[in-house]
Structure 1
């Protein structure tokens, strides 16, 4: 698993880390039972504070995407299955939005309206 962030982005790093994990789950690169790298390893690899990574992992835990247990670390839950099932639909929607000239922010706003 490769965690991707953009240091120049205005989006907080912990949000970017969580989004990267979600994207890997949606793409099927992470499956139920897979362990995430330790927060310390991710922090060292990205050159960020350990607590930044822990915040991202806690947000993913709060969403139900990962289960965090002492000694086992962060493990992907069954919540990854629906994300992976929607991957093709999401890719098609993003492609259609691009074809219509919609920005990613506009598409995200439209999706948020339909919660």
Structure 2
């Protein structure tokens, strides 16, 4: 599995790490029962803080996508049959882009409602 982060992005690094995992799940390259790299290993590969990776993993756990267990690591517990992981990633990217261009929450809400 490939994690990716862009330090120049306005999106927080932990959100970028979580989005990477969601993308892999959405694309079917990460399946139920597969282990994610240890937080220490991922932090080292990405050259980011260990706690950043742990926060991303906790977010994914809270979303019900992975299970975190001491000694067992992070394991994918849910496939993404409904596309929720992909949708969450797209929304996070949309919000980051809206912030980058200076759009307000109301601007973004109106835009989404007009497209819906």
The alignment status of 1:110 with 2:112, answered yes or no, reads yes
Residues 64, 79 of structure 1: 8 Å contact kept: no
Alignment of 1:51-66 (within 5 A): 51-66=51-66
Consecutive unaligned residues of structure 1, counting only runs of 5 or more, are 95-103
Distance 1:48 1:7 in 2: 9
- Aligned Cα RMSD in Å? 2.9
C-alpha separation in 2, matches of 1:2 and 1:63: 20
Residue number in structure 1 paired with 2:10: 10
Shift in Å, 1:83: 3.0
Runs of 4+ in structure 1 off by over 4 angstroms are none
- Give me the whole-angstrom Cα distance separating, in 2, the residues matched to 1:62 and 1:46: 23
TM-score between both structures, scaled by the size of structure 1: 0.73
Deviation at 1:79, TM superposition (A): 4.2
Aligned length: 97
Match of 1:47?
A: 47
TM-score, normalised by the number of residues in structure 2: 0.72
Q: Distance in 1 between matches of 2:112 and 2:36?
A: 31
Q: Alpha carbons of 1:79 and 1:64: their partners in 2 closer, same or farther (altered >3 Å)?
A: farther
Shift in alpha-carbon separation, 1:34–1:83, aligned structure 2, 3 A: farther
For residues 49 and 56 of structure 2, the distance between their equivalents in structure 1, rounded to whole angstroms, comes to 11
